[in-house]
Chain A
């Protein structure tokens, strides 16, 4: 087991990889009461074309299947489902599916061995019947309908659909109702047998536990299980163009005021800096300094009455970054023009840059006060970099304004997509 002291935050980080390929990342916090353990498979909504484990032909499964499978993992043959089990131990459990992963988790006090074993056992076994697959369809249909009534969600999915031509991030994580209705037991099993293999999965534990004890529990548990060792999973390669699908679109929805998304699609190929961590930090520093709450854009636009609020998100796909702004404004055209102006000028002073570095470090340190946040940061790191960056404070401190200036000037902002959601015109 590898152990590193995180000097700047006064915590320890542990790492272990088992023979079956399962990786374990740990940041214990023994002065806390609760333990938070997540178990993640690198299988998300974008993985719909792949070669199943043990086969040779590429297959295409229905959209939304990763999320459907997540729901079905909670089914158990003997009637003791995860909700019952964890509740009995005074713990809670949940799961979530994103574009590129599915994560199962529990949060609880004590009962470490039982809780961990149950997590491993229910995720590493599956109980599907035609009936329980059918039953789930009504529940998922209601879940998808719930999101359709959320204007932000519509904006979010809309801008991704208008920005990406090939990458499946253009599609809803849960799929469409018609996809869900067509999903079968066999299709679910094919996905399960391919992606729910320890070599494609990792565990992150934070909070109250002893790392040696935890690793022993997991090792002991895995010893008794035999997984067909897979070679690397073959997933269909995509060729995503640099251009966006739609440069501009207006939609009408039941909203009280316009909601706007502006996205810049930036190709990774043209970026010269090797370290992806560094690129991510530079991009988020840039976005915050240009459009965040301390930016001239934010302050002046509010004074000029063309902006109510602005949120920032940077999507990271294999081939492109998508810098997205989610804006509330009653004057969509004026605010989009303003965004263009800011992007043309890219005015960020050294003072802004250094201050934002300080904020980045402070936020990172703060996140250790919450075992759920700490865990989330580790998961994010493993998904992006295949490891936990245990010297992120050092690396952040070392970011240079000079390099940053050259970097942002080199970025190509010409591939842009804007989506405006307007209130339904009552006069029609």
Chain B
């Protein structure tokens, strides 16, 4: 595997040459500091661009063209990265070895056509596409409530810090959707092309020089911009005691979400020690949570913690019987106290470190993980792969105890079966 990074002035081109896969990948990442309405605009924009374009006037003809190109896959996702929103447009195509000569460039042209040649007249997106997409998004926004497990986490984050980007809903908002028009969406699209920071990744059995030329000729972006804002979220809440909220919905199983603040982590702690702490506490099926709360006390089927470095938080989720709410929360607190007291063995620490390192070693098996790893290195300050492996080895038991004292439960939320809303 060979990596090369080239500045193309208005964007950065990252190329990864490898013959390990039967497919080639192109990923174009746009990012900007997040505002609430960006989410709905971008969800809408992506679906509209993929519904039709200037040459393929409806969704069917566009989808048929992709299938003709050996089931070329083009998709996009919007994710919040700390204080930024990241819109990623991806193309995945079979290598020419399995198709025909010239198919990669043909696929690339089609991808560029979708990005830069939208179905627009007189400064407005085509109304038919616009309406179809709007209805689908509306359904998705409302449908968040159908996914009780996810909804519980979203509600908890909203309550935890309503001024922070962590409280924003990834599905978007009905009121923002109502405000979008075919012409405002077109203005937004132009803004995104001209003002966003852009990183492009190309992975596959590629030729570096040819790839550069292809992008120079066809990737029509030429405005230069600079990062405006820190990526990592900082939380202002200084709640001394955790807040607790129970809301009611039609659920068979109550969904518990707990948000934890992480106070004043050092860089080494946030990059390395917290990852190991999280593994020991609740990430896997040999964690404290799994062993003590599921296996010993039979309180749940799933319970886990997840750590998001750039959000600076730790989130714990579980599905429980509503009558066991207090018992489960007390058990969570107990597990966390045991971490502070150092009730874990050196062997467990070594195992956790080895697990993290072997996960890093296997990154090369997955194109998406390879790209993510380079992108995180580029924008979130994550160290390169080799450094990461070395640094994890340095994490000690004392480091973990020290970091466990900085983890504070901030918000405890339960989506419960029952009648009315009540606050505790």
> Which of A's residues lie within 8 Å of B, judged by CB?
8-10, 31-34, 83-84, 87-88, 90-92, 108-109, 135-140, 142-143, 145-146, 148-151, 207, 253-257, 293-296, 298-299, 302-303, 305, 308-309, 328, 355-356, 358-359, 362-363, 365-366, 368-371, 424
B299, A138: Cβ atoms closer than 8 Å = yes
Q: Verify A140–B358 contact, CB threshold 8 A.
A: no
Say whether A33 contacts B365, CB under 8 Å: yes
Of all chain B residues, the one with the shortest Cβ separation from A358 is B70
In the assembled complex, which residues on chain A have CB atoms less than 8 Å from the CB atom of B284? Answer: 83, 87, 92
Once bound together, how far apart are the Cα atoms of A151 and B359, in whole Å? Answer: 34
Contacts of A253 in B (CB 8 A): 250
User: Which residues of A are found within 8 Å of B263, using beta-carbon distances?
Assistant: none
Cα distance A207–B362 when bound, in Å?
11
The contact of B365 among A34, A309, A363, by CB within 8 Å, is A34
Identify which of B98, B355, B366 contacts A365 (C-beta below 8 A): B98
* A360 (CB) vs chain B CBs: closest residue: B71
Q: How far is the CB of A359 from chain B (nearest CB, A)?
A: 4
B176 contacts the other chain (CB 8 A): no
Q: Which 8 residue pairs spanning A and B have beta carbons closest together?
A: A90-B358, A138-B298, A254-B250, A299-B60, A145-B253, A143-B301, A142-B301, A256-B142
**Is B251's CB under 8 angstroms from A149's CB?**
yes
Report the bound CA distance from A150 to B255 in whole Å.
12
Interface status of B367 (Cβ within 8 A of chain A):
yes
Q: Looking at the complex, which one of B67, B148, B286, B298 makes contact with A87 (CB distance below 8 Å)?
A: B286
Pair A146/B301 contact, Cβ less than 8 Å: yes
Q: For the complex, what is the distance from the CA of A69 to the CA of B19, rounded to whole Å?
A: 42
Residue of B nearest to A92 (CB): B284
Min CB distance B398 to A, Å, is: 22
Extra contacts, 16 of them, besides A32-B20, A254-B250, A303-B132 (Cβ < 8 A), are A9-B22, A90-B359, A109-B358, A136-B298, A138-B299, A139-B298, A149-B253, A257-B143, A293-B59, A298-B60, A302-B132, A358-B68, A362-B99, A363-B71, A365-B94, A369-B22
Structural contact, A90 and B355, CB atoms closer than 8 A: yes
A148–B253 touching, CB < 8 Å:
yes
Decide: B143 and A256 in contact? CB cutoff 8 A. yes
Measured CB to CB, the closest approach of chain A to B163, in angstroms, equals 28
Q: Check A296–B60 contact: CB distance below 8 A.
A: yes
Given A149-B253, A309-B136, A369 and B23 touching (CB < 8 A)?
yes
Given known contacts A362-B71, A362-B94, A366-B23, is B319 in contact with A33 (CB within 8 Å)?
A: no
B-side contacts of A33, CB under 8 Å: 361-362, 364-365
Pick 29 A–B contacts, CB within 8 A, sort by A. A9-B22, A32-B365, A83-B286, A84-B286, A108-B358, A109-B358, A109-B361, A137-B298, A142-B253, A143-B301, A145-B252, A149-B319, A151-B146, A254-B251, A256-B143, A299-B59, A302-B132, A303-B132, A305-B135, A308-B139, A328-B139, A355-B67, A355-B68, A362-B94, A362-B99, A363-B71, A365-B22, A366-B23, A368-B22
Q: What is the bound-complex CA distance between A34 and B20, given in angstroms? A: 13
A369 and B21 contact, Cβ closer than 8 Å, known pairs A83-B286, A92-B284: yes
Q: Does B145 contact A (CB under 8 A)?
A: yes
Mark contacts of B348-388 with chain A using CB atoms, 8 A cut-off: 1 yes-contact digit, 0 otherwise. Answer: 00010011011101101111000000000000000000000
Interface centre among B67, B92, B145 (most CB of A within 10 A): B67
**Which chain A residue shows the least CB distance to B19?**
A31
Chain B contacts of A358 at CB under 8 A?
67-68, 70-71
Cα(A298)–Cα(B20), bound, Å? 36
By a CB distance below 8 angstroms, the chain B residues around A9 are 22, 98
CB pair A88–B132 under 8 Å, yes or no, is no
CB distance from A9 to the nearest CB of B (A): 7
Interface size on B, residues (CB 8 A): 62
How many angstroms from the CA of A362 to the CA of B301 in the assembled complex? 38
- Write out the residue numbers on chain B whose beta carbons fall within 8 Å of the beta carbon of A254: 146, 249-251
- Cα–Cα distance between A355 and B67 once the two chains are bound (Å): 7
What CA separation (Å) do A362 and B259 show in the bound complex? 43
Chain B residues near A363 (CB-CB < 8 A): 71
- Picked from A136, A257, A296, the residue with its CB within 8 Å of the CB of B139 is A257
Residue of A nearest to B253 (CB): A145
In the complex formed, the residue of B with least CB distance to A208 is: B365
Contact of A149 among B23, B148, B295, B300 (CB under 8 A): B148
A24 to chain B, nearest CB (A): 22
Given that A90-B358, A149-B252 are known contacts, is A294 also in contact with B64, CB under 8 Å in the complex?
yes
What residue of chain B has the Cβ atom nearest to residue A292's Cβ?
B63
Kindly state the separation between the CA atoms of A108 and B355 in the bound complex, as whole angstroms: 10
**Bound Cα distance A108, B357 (Å):** 12
Let me know if A91 and B135 touch, CB within 8 A. Answer: no
Q: B99: nearest residue on chain A (CB-CB)?
A: A362
The interface centre, meaning the residue of B250, B301, B367 with most chain A CB atoms within 10 A of its CB, is B301
Bound together, the chains give a CA A28 to CA B59 distance in angstroms of 39
Asked if residues B300 and A148 are in contact (CB atoms below 8 Å), the reply is no
Check B365 against A83 for contact (C-beta < 8 Å).
no
Could you tell me if B132 and A359 are in contact, using CB atoms closer than 8 angstroms?
no
Tell me, in angstroms, the Cα distance from A254 to B144 when the chains sit together: 12
Q: Which of B203-230 contact A (CB under 8 A)?
A: none
- Complex alpha-carbon distance, A299 and B70, angstroms: 21
CB distance from B208 to the nearest CB of A (A): 21
Inter-chain contacts of B142 with A (CB < 8 A): 256-257
- Chain A: CB-nearest residue to B51: A302
B278 → chain A closest CB, angstroms: 14
A139 touches B294 (CB 8 A): yes
Cβ contacts under 8 Å, B362 to chain A: 33-34, 109
Q: In whole angstroms, what is the CA distance A298 to B298 when docked? A: 45
- Shortest CB-to-CB span from A233 to chain B, Å, is 30
Shortest B320–chain A CB gap in Å is 7
**Is B321 at the interface (CB under 8 A from chain A)?**
yes
Q: Which residue of B lies closest to A143 (CB)?
A: B301
How far, in angstroms, from A363 to B320 measured CA to CA in the complex?
A: 39
Q: Enumerate chain B residues within 8 angstroms of A146, measured Cβ to Cβ.
A: 149, 253, 301-302, 319
Chain A: minimal CB distance from B311 (Å): 25
**Shortest Cβ distance from A8 into B: residue:** B98
Partner of B67, one of A150, A294, A424: A294
Nearest CB to that of B355 among chain A residues? Answer: A90
In the complex, chain B residues whose CB is within 8 Å of the CB of A32: 20, 364-365
Closest residue to A293 on the B side, CB-wise?
A: B63
A323 CB, nearest partner CB in chain B, Å: 21
Task: Enumerate chain B residues within 8 angstroms of A137, measured Cβ to Cβ.
Answer: 298
Residue of A87, A135, A257, A298 near B351 (CB, 8 A) is A87
A256 x B145 contact (CB < 8 A):
yes
A363 to B98, CA, bound (A): 11
